[in-house]
Chain A
Amino acid sequence: MSTLSEQILGAPAGEYLDRRVDRAFAHDGTGVLALEAWRAIGSGVFTDSDRRHLIFDHIAPANASLTADLQHELRAFAKEQKVHFSDVGGGVCHQVMAEGCVLPGEVVVGADSHTCTLGALGAFATGVGATDLAGVWATGETWFRVPETTGIFLEGTFSGAVEAKDLALAYVAALGMDGGTYRALEFVGEGAAGLSMADRLTLSNMAVETGAKAGLFYADETTRRYLAGFGHEVEVQRREVDGYPDEVTIDLENLEPLLALPPRVDTVCPVAEKEGVPVDQVFLGTCTCGRYEDLERFAAIVRGKTVKVRTVVVPASRAVLLRAVETGVLTTLVEAGCAVGTPGCGPCLGAHMGVIGEGEVCLSTANRNFRNRMGIGGEIYLASPSTAAATALAGEIASPEGCL
């Protein structure tokens, strides 16, 4: 009777083990430090190049000479070591890896805290720092402590304008910012089985906001169909445990559109309670909610209308952008007055392209609203793509319930 983390890592919770890493990646933000650490280790050996990825997403394209120089050095390194390289415009590392690079049962580390996103595919995926990643480059493996697991039981189906992001905020609020520390989350139950891959990626993405090491879904028919689209045939994973020492149950049916209030991701209230709060910017994108389905939801609400407040849209990947071009979703967004940026992280981390000014308020579909994250003296509310669309049309926080 093992949890999914125990099945994948091959040892019971609490045990320490050394494990070969199936997939490892860094981005332009963490790659520079990792390269320095790798050089300092001095082995000269780079292992498993064909399973290592470098993905430019954090400040892509570069915003200044210094950033450009650092990226130039990393680009040369990627070429020299023959790793998979995704340059400016390819998209956010977690989304790029989710597009056919990660398979169920794999052990994945990324030098970015939201690597837990890939748990949606039935992988054990966790974020590490740059030096840890350099160690993986040099040795091909790293050590893990097998985590205890909290079960997140999902019941029912979404109703009205409620979507995966609202559910993500609900479970983060239920656990709190450190309620998952050192643990894995497993999303199970009929509600979980009914979720699309896009929704699962949104839910796994925010596991780290509770302190969790990983956030996993069992690979099922949805996973099989999704990965078949990338030419992979995979097996489903069977759940061996019925219950968990720690459990949270959430009924999707009874959720309403939610907001995380600045500056804590676990301070959550219904959108209805904050309707009318003026906003200066709306941001749709990131590894949480920058997928095609998110853009489509947003477009369905703004179609034929004009946004009242500056609205920045950043598709999570080139594939997302292309699909939005092909289906006309992108035309809808641009006609509604949205500014569309290069696939990547966009303004989420406050480094470029959409940073907000002192005293400004942004309603964002991202995963973090820490103080000053998106600009000094600004405030960030977190919400779903549909809430973001309703808010963009109103120029103030608005519930999407009336828009559908």
Chain B
Amino acid sequence: MRAEGRAVCVGRDIDTDLIIAGRYLRTKDRSVWAEHAFEDLDPALAGRLKGAVIVAGPNFGCGSSREQAPVALKEAGVVAVAAPTFARIFFRNAVNIGLPVLECEVPCQEGEAVRFDLDEGWIEAAGVRRPLRPLSPRMREILRAGGLVPYLSGGRG
């Protein structure tokens, strides 16, 4: 699975409250989450997420189990999230909804192209190619299916 996007840089320890605030959760309308993504971090950020690869510092997605966080990013058009480490519930949620998560150390240059290949296990940013920490075979299967729902409804055991 190869894809690319423009880098949008955020810091370390970005918690799920910052990704989508609790006050916007009580709805089934996913566009609400996309519209308010990162609002408490930077209200202008949501407008720049279409086609973006979020490049974050360590511990991205810490905090709540709220799946609305990765859904908000995917719904807003985020292609993938890259960070040296992720909080584990966010990491698993992202795979479950079909949003690629890239565990890697990359420098972030705002707006520059970021390319990656999940199967070959590399990411290219600021002109340098680096390896990705491999996903488990199961996680790769789930991502390839487009998320856990299509994976399970595709006739697994």
Q: Give the CA-CA distance A66 to B29 in the complex, in Å.
A: 11
Once bound together, how far apart are the Cα atoms of A42 and B151, in whole Å?
12
Do A132 and B148 touch (CB < 8 A)? Answer: yes
The answer to the question of A13 belonging to the interface, with a C-beta cut-off of 8 Å to chain B, is no
| B contact residues around A111 at 8 Å (CB) | 65
- The answer to whether B93 and A178 touch across the interface, beta carbons within 8 angstroms, is no
Chain B interface: which of A122-130, A196-204, A306-314, A332-340? A122-130
Of B45-53, B84-92, B109-117, B122-130, the segment with at least 4 beta carbons within 8 Å of chain A is: B84-92
Q: Which of B15, B68, B89 has the most CB of A within 10 A?
A: B89
Q: Which residues of A contact B118 (CB under 8 A)?
A: none
- In the assembled complex, how far is the CB of residue A259 from the closest CB belonging to chain B, in whole angstroms? 19
Contacts of A132 in B (CB 8 A): 92-93, 96, 148
Known contacts A40-B153, A111-B65; is A373 also within 8 Å of B59 by CB? no
Q: B22: CB under 8 A from chain A?
A: yes
Q: How far is the CA of A67 from the CA of B63 in the complex (A)?
A: 22
Contact digits for A367-381, partner B, Cβ 8 Å, 1 yes 0 no: 010111100100000
- Residue of B13, B25, B137 near A264 (CB, 8 A) is B13
Say yes or no: is A353 at the interface (Cβ < 8 Å to chain B). Answer: no
> Is A70 a contact of B28 with CB atoms below 8 Å?
yes
Residues of chain A with a CB closer than 8 A to B35's CB: none
Nearest B residue to A350, CB-CB: B22
Q: How far is the CA of A33 from the CA of B89 in the complex (A)?
A: 15
A403 at the interface (CB under 8 A from B): no
Do B26 and A67 have beta carbons less than 8 Å apart? Answer: yes
Question: Whole-angstrom distance between the alpha carbons of A400 and B66 in the complex?
Answer: 35
The reply to whether B96 and A371 contact each other, CB–CB distance below 8 Å, is no
Contacts of B137 in A (CB 8 A): 16
A85 within 8 A of B: no
Partner of B28, one of A36, A59, A112, A370: A36
> How many angstroms between the C-alpha atoms of A325 and B9 in the bound complex?
52
Interface assignment of B62: CB less than 8 Å from any CB of chain A: yes
Enumerate chain A residues within 8 angstroms of B15, measured Cβ to Cβ. 370
Q: Point out the residues of chain B lying under 8 angstroms from A70, CB to CB.
A: 26, 28
Which of A40, A129, A350 is in CB contact (< 8 Å) with B67? A129
A113 contact from B64, B71, B153, Cβ within 8 A: B64
- Tell me the total A-B contact number using a CB cutoff of 8 A: 121
- Given the complex, which residues of A lie within 8 Å of B71, measured CB to CB? 33
Q: Which segment, of A138-146, A216-224, A245-253, A282-290, faces chain B?
A: A138-146
* Most chain B CB inside 10 Å of its own CB: which residue of A145, A350, A372: A372
* B149 & A131 in contact (Cβ 8 Å cutoff): yes
Given A40-B153, A181-B85, A211-B88, verify A131-B59 contact (CB < 8 Å). no
Check if B96 sits within 8 Å of A40, measured CB to CB.
Answer: no
- In chain A, positions 43-86 with a C-beta closer than 8 Å to chain B are 43, 59, 64, 66-67, 70
When chains A and B are docked, how far (Å) is the Cα of A352 from the Cα of B152?
36
Contact B152 A64 (CB under 8 A): no
Query: Which B residues touch A350, using CB under 8 A?
Result: 21-23
Closest to B157 in A: A139
- A177 on the interface (CB 8 Å rule)? yes
For the complex, give the distance between the alpha carbons of A134 and B63 in Å.
Answer: 21
Indicate whether A131 sits within 8 Å of B67 (C-beta atoms), given known contacts A16-B138, A43-B152, A264-B13.
yes
Closest to A37 in B: B149
- B17 within 8 Å of A (CB atoms): yes
A350-396 residues with Cβ-Cβ distance < 8 A to B are: 350-351, 368, 370-373, 376
Residues of B within 8 A of A112 (CB): 64-65
**Interface contact B149-A178, CB-CB below 8 Å:** no
User: Complex: how many Å from CA A64 to CA B25?
Assistant: 13
Chain B neighbourhood of A153, CB < 8 A: none
A30 x B67 contact (CB < 8 A): yes
B71 (CB) vs chain A CBs: closest residue: A33
Does B79 belong to the interface (CB within 8 Å)? no
